[in-house]
């Protein structure tokens, strides 16, 4: 028999948003140790850095010892953050770690010394959902609830600007946001999405603030984080939803690929999917240094058979990097912070080329 308890939440992490939680929830002692299930936990420690969580509105709110948090079970494999997994079994009273700012919960297996160890938390139970009217027992809540369904076929026919990078913090979101802003100011209806990574609303909200008519992430498709084998159906589902004529149908979609093209979040599957790449009007690559620029060119050409439209990121911060990219690699180089207009001009031309090739009106 499931033992249930009423719990008041101090913080509700953004990763749980599909579950539509309120401040008071019922929790049960039967916990499913699998990705996407929502738990209530009590924070056991204080931290001086990496000490906040993104709430349902996208604000960063502090976490303190004693706070009760609703988070989502998931996996993280971040080069510059935490690596963690879901324990095989989880029981009330166990200790679990907060693996990212979106409230992903698991067991930390490796930590970056720059951010210190993760928050420790005591498991209070599985948050229960009551989808049936009059249901008095409930079932463990999952972020698949109310999710955008993954798709085996692609109905979207909107051109896509893919923004990829060589690693975390290479400048992908800055480039994507400036593209959204510039294309929208130029009169285009722009939708945005983040296809891979670990749950966090921040990047999609940044693009929405820049003028995107709609913005989705893989979390909206019921995924706490992404990995090989599942990203292509999720991407199809998100593109189909963004292109739905019953919604704010856009002229172009700016799609950020979180992490790097050699990471463990399933970016490679998307770059190898012919139907998804057929929508590619432009491929933006963010890189931190000349080695990353060279390596990304080799990978995109030899592994994925895809062109790079333009390179951006820290490698283009001054003329040294830009000269190397243009002279040695034969690629365009535009810094998205110092020359956003130049980046938009290059991408706008690529979109118009794609539209002409596909018989679409510009």
Task: Give the model confidence (pLDDT) of 303-320 as tens digits.
Answer: 999 999 999 999 999 999
Domain boundaries, the chain: 4-140, 160-357
d(CA 165, CA 299): 12
How many whole angstroms separate alpha carbon 319 and alpha carbon 335? 10
Alpha-carbon torsion 240, 246, 249, 254, what sign? negative
Sign of CA dihedral 271, 162, 77, 22: negative
pLDDT band at 167 (very low <50, low <70, confident <90, very high): confident
Q: Find the mean pLDDT for residues 157-172.
A: 93
**Could you give the CA distance from residue 1 to residue 10 in angstroms, rounded to a whole number?**
28
249 or 247: whose pLDDT is higher?
A: 249
DSSP string, 57-109: TS-EEE--TT-EEEEEE--EE-TTS-EEE--S---TT-EEEE-STT-EEEEEE
pLDDT (0 to 100) of residue 132: 67
Cross-strand pairs, 160: 253, 280
Per the document, the length of the chain is 362
Which residues sit opposite 128 in a β-bridge?
Answer: 140
Mean of pLDDT values over 316-330: 96
Pairwise CA distance, residues 110 & 69, whole Å: 22
Distance CA 311, CA 335 (A): 8
Q: What is the mean pLDDT of residues 86-104?
A: 96
Look at residues 20, 56, 26 and name the one whose alpha carbon lies nearest to residue 40. Answer: 26
Q: Which residue has the higher pLDDT, 168 or 239?
A: 239
CA 328 to chain centre: 33
CB neighbours (10 Å) of residue 34? 12
- Asked whether 290 and 311 are in contact (CB, 8 A), the reply is no
Give the start-end residues of each E strand in 188-303.
Answer: 190-196, 214-217, 252-257, 280-286
Q: How many CB atoms lie within 10 A of CB 94?
A: 16
Residue 46 has pLDDT above 90, yes or no: yes
pLDDT bin (cut points 50, 70, 90) of residue 246 is: confident
Q: Are 128 and 26 in contact (CB under 8 A)?
A: yes
Q: What is the pLDDT of residue 134?
A: 55
Report the C-alpha gap between 243 and 263 in whole angstroms. Answer: 28
Q: Is the pLDDT of residue 287 over 80?
A: yes
CATH class of 160-357: alpha beta
The full DSSP string for 255-286 is EEE-S-TTSSSSHHHHHT-HHHHHTEEEEEEE
Q: What is the pLDDT of residue 133?
A: 58
Phi-psi region of 353 (alpha: psi -120 to 50; beta: other; left: phi over 0): alpha
* Element of type H or E holding 39: strand 38-43
On whether the CB atoms of residues 311 and 332 are closer than 8 A, the answer is: yes
pLDDT digits (tens, 9 = 90+) for 189-220: 999 999 999 889 999 999 999 999 999 999 99
Q: Which of 68, 128, 127, 126 is nearest to 98 (CA)?
A: 68
Q: Which of 233, 59, 34 is nearest to 141 (CA)?
A: 34
* Residue 140 three-state SS: strand
Mean pLDDT of the chain: 93
> In this predicted model, which residue has the larger pLDDT, 113 or 290?
290
Entry pTM: 0.93
Residue percentage of the chain with pLDDT more than 90: 83
Cα(40)–Cα(72) distance, integer angstroms: 9
Percent of residues in the chain assigned helix, strand, coil, to nearest 5:
25, 25, 45
3-class state of residue 45 by DSSP:
coil
CB 280 within 8 A of CB 164: no
The 10 Å Cβ neighbour count of residue 280 is: 18
């Amino acid at each position: 028999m499931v033992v249930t308890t009423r719990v008041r939440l101090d913080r509700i992490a953004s990763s749980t948003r599909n579950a539509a939680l309120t401040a008071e929830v019922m929790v049960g002692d039967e916990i499913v140790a699998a990705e996407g299930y929502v738990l209530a936990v009590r924070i056991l420690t204080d931290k001086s850095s990496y000490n906040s969580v993104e709430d349902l509105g996208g604000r960063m709110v502090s976490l303190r010892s004693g706070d009760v948090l609703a988070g989502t079970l998931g996996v993280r494999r971040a080069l510059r953050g935490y690596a963690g997994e879901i324990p095989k079994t989880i029981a009330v009273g166990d200790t679990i770690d907060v693996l990212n700012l979106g409230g992903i919960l698991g067991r930390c297996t490796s930590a970056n010394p720059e951010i210190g160890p993760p928050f420790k938390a005591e498991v209070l139970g599985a948050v229960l959902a009551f989808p049936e009217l009059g249901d008095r027992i409930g079932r463990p809540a999952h972020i698949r609830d109310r999710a955008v369904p993954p798709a085996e076929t692609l109905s979207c026919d909107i051109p896509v600007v893919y923004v990829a990078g060589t690693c975390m913090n290479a400048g992908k979101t800055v480039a994507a946001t400036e593209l959204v802003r510039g294309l929208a100011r130029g009169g285009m209806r722009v939708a945005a999405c983040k296809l891979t990574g670990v749950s966090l609303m921040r990047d999609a909200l940044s693009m929405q603030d820049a003028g995107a008519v709609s913005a989705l992430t893989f979390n909206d498709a019921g995924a706490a984080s992404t990995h090989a084998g599942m990203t292509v159906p999720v991407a199809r589902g998100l593109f189909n939803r963004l292109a739905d004529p019953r919604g704010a149908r856009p002229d172009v979609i700016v799609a950020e690929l979180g992490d790097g093209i050699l990471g463990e979040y399933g970016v490679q599957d998307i770059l190898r999917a012919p139907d998804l790449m057929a929508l590619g009007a432009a491929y933006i690559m963010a890189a931190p240094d000349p080695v990353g620029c060279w390596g990304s060119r080799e990978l995109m050409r030899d592994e994925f058979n895809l062109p790079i439209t333009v390179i951006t990121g820290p490698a283009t911060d001054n003329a040294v990097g830009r000269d190397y990219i243009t002279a040695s690699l034969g690629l365009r180089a535009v810094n998205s912070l110092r020359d956003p207009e130049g980046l938009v001009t290059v991408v706008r031309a690529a979109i118009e080329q794609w539209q002409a090739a596909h018989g679409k009106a510009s």
